[in-house]
Structure formats: structure tokens, C-alpha cells
Chain A
């Protein structure tokens, strides 16, 4: 709040100063960060539980907090923070239900407690990317997706545990949704997708403030290295919301936001589904190439990333590829990336289909006019630059030239040999490099005669 107070003070001071010398000029600054400017506290579309007496105004506290655990003498169960419903999420791999989080009681399209019975909150791919096909509209429904080959979600129980261990304000009964959202200040970004001052997120380390509503809290802080992806089914408009030009100042800095938990310097995050700690993310100049690290050779990209001349790097936003809540695909992959559906009519994004994620921005053989969709021979063989397994680098794990294709089929889970593809994630993931710091194959392959980041 201090930051906000200072901001407002400075804003008003500037207003008064300008007004003193110039007439007819209106000073505009962001809305004050408070409840009545939030989505829940709006007098028109704010919280409005359908079973409450009509004495209560829309947006009133009582729609969420039952101060005495009773409405008109009814003796219901009492819950932490005097909430009208429980935050009972527990267990690592579950089907989510409305009692797992008080938020789910309303943020669902099925029997929502909000007047009208439905609160749609489409996923990021639809809300900001425009991809509305086959979309679950409710947050609760997104957490229980129609499973593709492998769905994924921000596991709320694990979020709860992690937040309780790392953020002092997070209490035993706090809903895990609050790790990212402060319900008392979160704004209705779904109705203002091009205006980050309507952001709905707060840094876990600064729960009392919004994140993304200030100029220094957008992707513009990366000095123009952020290029917004295409809006769905367009090559002339961009996220968020179909802007006519890529505008980093319209996108909250999700890199900083997500890395409050997922950053490489943060405490490990154990995934019960993966049965391991998650790979942590280093988006700095010393980290991933998808982050601030400069590219070390030529690569072959799709638009809008291909034609920008003179750029040594792009800094991607996490939500360019990942959903914040849940996905029918693994690793919270968005259903559409860079203006295209993710699976291109494939039934799913299984282990051999991960390339469909990559080809949204990288040219596969088909894009190069060389081969099929999700074939990657051209990228890896014979083009030089970042094409590693060509010419003198064309050495396999046996130490011999790769003419025998002995990389293919060498990995656990590979589907065959010969020209069958190697799963992208064998070599490409957050933090990956060659030689692999962990020492596993392909550590013996040194296409650049030294360490090379492969993500």
C-alpha cells in the first residue's frame, strides 16, 4: 500500500502542479488500488450471491464473508475468514470441486452461487489470445478439463503448501487462489484485456498490491525485447486482445510474476504428479534463450519473430506458451500459441507431439518446404548456425558421424529409430544445455565445442 500511496500522492501533486499553470488539461492516472475498484467490489457486476437477502448491495462483503456464520438465523457450517464456503483442497492429484476453494463456488459455469448461475472466465488462450474453440468457460471446469493425452493444472494443494511455506501472509486456511490473486483488489481484466491497469494478479511477495498496473510492471521493462505473439487466426494483430501493433506495455510482466515461485533462485517445488521437483526457470541473461539470454547462432522462426531485423533476442512472456490455471495439455501448455491452435487437428500433445508446441514459433520441415508437419530434420541437420548435427558437428553418442541415425531410438520412451523424431523435451526444456549439466546423454555431443543452451 505504501507504494500505491506514494504513487497516488505523486500523481495528485503532479495534477495540482499542472493545474496551477495550465488550464484545460486533464491529468489521468491509474485507478486507486482498492476494493471498490476491484472486480468483486463493483456495484454492478461485483459479488452478488444469489441466496442472500436483497438488503445486501452488489459487491458487499457479506456475499463472501458471513460475519457471524449465519444468515437470518440459519446455522450453517463456519469457515475460516468467515467465508461462506470452505477451502478444503487437499491431495495432490484430484478432481476439483466447489468446496475445494471458495472461489470455485462462483467461478464456474455450472450452478455458480453468483446471481445468474454462471461466471465465465475463459482461459488465457481465449481471453487474451482469441482462441475460443472447445474452451471450458469456467475456472472450475478448466481445472477438470476433458483430458487430452495428459492434462495439467496448477495443483492447488501444492500451491497452498508452497505458499504457506514461503509467504508469511498466507495462512492455513487461505485459498490457494490467493497466492496469485488478491480478491479484494483484483480487477476485471477479462473485460479490459488490452489494459493492464485492470490486472487481476498480485505478486505473492506483495499481496497488497496489483501487479502489472504500473508502467514498470509490464513486459516493456525488457527494453523492447518482448514481441507479442499473433492474435488467434491473424497475422496482423497481436495479443492481448488483437492489438494492431505489438505493445509490451499492454502485458503485465508475467516473467517476474511467475518466477516469484518458479525462479531458479527460489525454493524447490515438488510435483507429486511428476514425482520430482519442478525444473526452475532462469529467465535472465545467464539463463534461457527464451528469456534474456542472447541467441548464439541463427535459428529459423515463424512470424512475427522471423522478420524483425537486428534483434539478438526475444524475451518471451510465460503466458505466451503456458496457461496460468489449467490446460488439457501437459505442462499447462496453452491450447493455442502464436495465433494457431496447438495441436493442428492432432488428437493430443503426447510425447511425440511436443513439437506442435514448438512449431508455433519455430519452423518445422513443413514450414521450410522440406518435409512434414512436426518433422525437425532440417532444423537439426545441415543448416549450420544453430543446426547442430551437421558438418563437423555431426557426431553421435558413439563418437561416430551421425550417418547411422543412432540418436534416434536411443532414449527411454522413444517410439522407434531411423527418422522417427526424438522427443523435443529430451534436449529442450527450461535450463537445458549441451553438454547437459546433469551428465546424462547427450553430454558427449558437443556440437559447439562447449556448453550450448538448448532452450
Chain B
């Protein structure tokens, strides 16, 4: 209602309406900016201007900015997709973990002083031509949008119906269509829940809710899980394990229960898609002689074995061959063979990829003695 005695013609009413609308929009945007940039938890990993990640209209002067992904608009008003943000060159102290880059430096095992890859490795080599045990489609996960599809593996090897995450969701809902590429998140992805088809929905709240450090009893929220992995526990190295040392590395969660169905260990994450390699009757067995290489098995069970040479004199933690522990409240710089020498999938593999065949951390296939296999199998050098 206009103020008494004030005349407002039609044009004025339109202008007023526009003004009110504009004010409303500004208010909403301001609120959104407030919510996104200020209300976020103190420990959130995502910091800085909202425009670093978001665009309100995916349009600037009726066009898109060069730094935006051309495939937009994207969900959650993002200016690009997962690969768009996480492609780049890692530096020690960097704020964004890059999983794809041009010609990253890996060294021999990805932990050397010149390495520019992180704990998960890099997808880079998947797109490179294969030369024996180096490069090629078998060097990492063949993630849709980032890499070529695998010409041999059309479903995850060892897929046995999809094992449930902590929230009950299963990859593919229990079925993996032939030719379906793995995704970063979602139904066919690793991060977030498998119950959401859209990747951004699958990790909803994760970037803003990430707390870092020890992730214990994470429940079902993607933000609470280790590296946005639903239900997974672990200690997150603040530098994503670039050039890790015995004192600075991720601490992976494991349990001495090779036949178990616990959903908090890092190996249980892999088992969701590669279940036949993890546990169950006729899969790995529950004790030596193993049918397949065990995971979630504490080498401390084998007293007086060759495994006791892990880490050399003093049994230092070797980040090139990481072992998991039952407790992940902090980083362990040495092992005691008591629930802290637990074999995991990541003891041998990089989750994203490495430059080596089958995403191995070291050049296993190209080595006569398996390379760093001898870190545990010390009598086979």
C-alpha cells in the first residue's frame, strides 16, 4: 500500500516493484553469501570468496568466464565439476588437493622429496600410453570425465553385488552395468553416499563441513567421514600426504578381522566394489594359507615372522607402504605389531592412481621381487 497522499503512476509502480524485487534478490544473495561464507564452521576447509567455487547464474555479461567449466551450469551453483577444481599442480602447503594434473612428479613411490602427488595419487597416467608396467589405462581408476574407460575391465573386478556403506547405500544399488565408469561420488563413486545419483548431492555439505584431523565415529554424513567417505574412519593429514614422513601422514583405519563386515575401515571402502577381494567364504580366507592377499589383517598375528622387519630397525612407519591401525586418533610414527600393522588395500595401491600398473604404489609388476612388497615380505628380497 502506497503512503497516504503519494501518487504513484503505473511506471512508478513498476519501478517500485523492481526496486523491491531487486532488494529482495540482493537480500537473498547477501543471505546466501552470509550463509556460505560466514556461517560455515571455523574449521571448514573451504575458505575465501564464494566466487572461488560458485556462480549465481553461470553467466557474466551474457557469457561465461574463462575459468568456468564450459559444461555448466552445475549443481549447487558450482562453476565447474569435481575435476575442474581438483586439477592442478600440488605444492607443499597447498589448499586444494589436486588429483589430476599435467605430468605430475611421482618419484619411485610417491613419497619422495620432489613428488607432487598426494595420498590418492593421480589419475594422470591413466590417460598416458602404456609402456610395460608404467602408464596406461590400468594405472588407476578410470573415472568418468577424467579418464578414458577401461577397455578390458567393464565392471569393477571382484564386484560381488556391492557391499553396503555405513548408511546402507550400495554402489550401483547392488548392480554394476557393464561399461559404467566409476565416478568421483554418488551411485558409482567413492565419495559421499551411493544413494544419490548427482555427485554434488552425494557429498552434500562435505566441503563446508569438513573438520580435518581424526575422523572417528563419523556416522553417515559425508562431511564427517574420512575424506568425505561415508562411514570411514581415519586421521587426515592436513597436507593430504604430499611428501609424507613417518611423522606426517594419513592414519588409516583398520581392524584385525579379515573376515569381518565392519564398514569403518579404509579397506571396507574398497570392498564395496571389490568385495570378492576383501572377505567372505572362498574369497581371502581367514588365516594363512590365504586364498587372496588379506586385508584388515594385523601382521602382529604372525609372531617371529618376516613381517617384523617392517620399517627397519625400530619399525618406523613407512608411508610408502602404509599400514592401518585400530585407533586413528593421531599419527603413529612407528608400529608395535599390536593392532597397528594392519594390511589394507592402500598398503599396496593408490586409490586414484599411480604411474604403475594396477595403481600400485611402487613398480610392483616391473620388479623382480615385487619392489616394496619386501617391506613386509622381508625374506623375499
Contact = CB atoms under 8 A, between A and B. Distances in A.
Interface in A49-84: 53-62, 66-70, 72-73, 75, 78-82
Interface stretch (A167-175, A223-231, A388-396, A442-450): A167-175
B57 interface: no
Interface string A24-56: 000000000011100001110010000001111
B153 A72 contact: yes
B370 to A, nearest CB: 4
Contacts of A173: 289
Nearest to A43: B368
A404 B120 CA distance: 92
A70 B158 contact: yes
A188 interface: no
Nearest to B348: A67
B155 to A, nearest CB: 8
A35 B152 contact: no
A208 B158 CA distance: 34
B268 to A, nearest CB: 16
Interface in B188-234: none
B292 A72 contact: no
Given A34-B381, A41-B369, A55 B289 contact: no
B379 A184 contact: yes
A382 B356 CA distance: 79
Contacts of B86: none
A59 B291 CA distance: 21
Contact of A57 (B130, B155, B366): B366
B291 A69 contact: yes
Nearest to B153: A73
A81 B369 contact: no
Contact of A61 (B357, B369, B379): B369
A78 B370 contact: no
B158 A54 contact: no
Interface residues of B, number: 35
Nearest to B155: A73
B76 to A, nearest CB: 35
Nearest to B294: A82
A41 B153 contact: no
Nearest to A185: B379
Given A81-B289, A81-B290, A55 B366 contact: yes
Given A36-B381, A184-B380, A171 B292 contact: no
A227 B116 CA distance: 65
Contact of A58 (B283, B293, B368): B368
Contacts of A75: 276
Residue of B132, B138, B289, B366 contacting most chain A CB atoms (<10 Å): B289
Interface residues of A, number: 37
A73 B133 contact: no
Contacts, number: 106
Contact of A78 (B138, B283, B380): B283
A69 B278 CA distance: 11
Contact of B133 (A34, A55, A72): A55
A385 B320 CA distance: 73
Interface in B337-381: 348, 357, 364-370, 373, 379-381
Nearest to A72: B152
A54 B132 CA distance: 6
Contacts of B283: 69, 78
Q: Which of B158, B291, B367, B380 has the most CB of A within 10 A?
A: B291
A410 interface: no
Given A67-B293, A80-B290, A60 B158 contact: no
**Which among A36, A43, A57, A172 has the highest number of chain B CB atoms within 10 Å?**
A57
Given A34-B381, A56-B133, A78 B368 contact: no
A426 interface: no
Nearest to A70: B157
A78 B293 contact: no
A67 B348 CA distance: 11
A1 interface: yes
B288 interface: yes
Nearest to B283: A78
B168 interface: no
B282 interface: yes
Contacts of B152: 72-73
B289 A80 contact: yes
B292 A69 contact: yes
B158 A61 contact: no
Contacts of B366: 55-57, 60
Interface string B147-167: 000001101011000000000
A42 B285 CA distance: 31
Given A55-B365, A73-B157, A80-B290, A1 B379 contact: yes
14 contacts: A34-B380, A35-B368, A35-B379, A55-B365, A55-B366, A56-B366, A57-B367, A69-B276, A69-B292, A70-B277, A73-B157, A78-B291, A82-B290, A184-B379
Interface of B: 130, 132-133, 138, 152-153, 155, 157-158, 274, 276-277, 282-283, 285, 288-293, 306, 348, 357, 364-370, 373, 379-381
Given A56-B365, A68-B293, A72-B157, 5 more contacts: A35-B368, A36-B381, A46-B368, A58-B368, A81-B289
Interface of A: 1, 34-36, 41-43, 46, 53-62, 66-70, 72-73, 75, 78-82, 171-174, 184, 208
Q: Which 6 A-B pairs have the closest CB atoms?
A: A80-B289, A59-B368, A78-B291, A73-B157, A173-B289, A67-B293
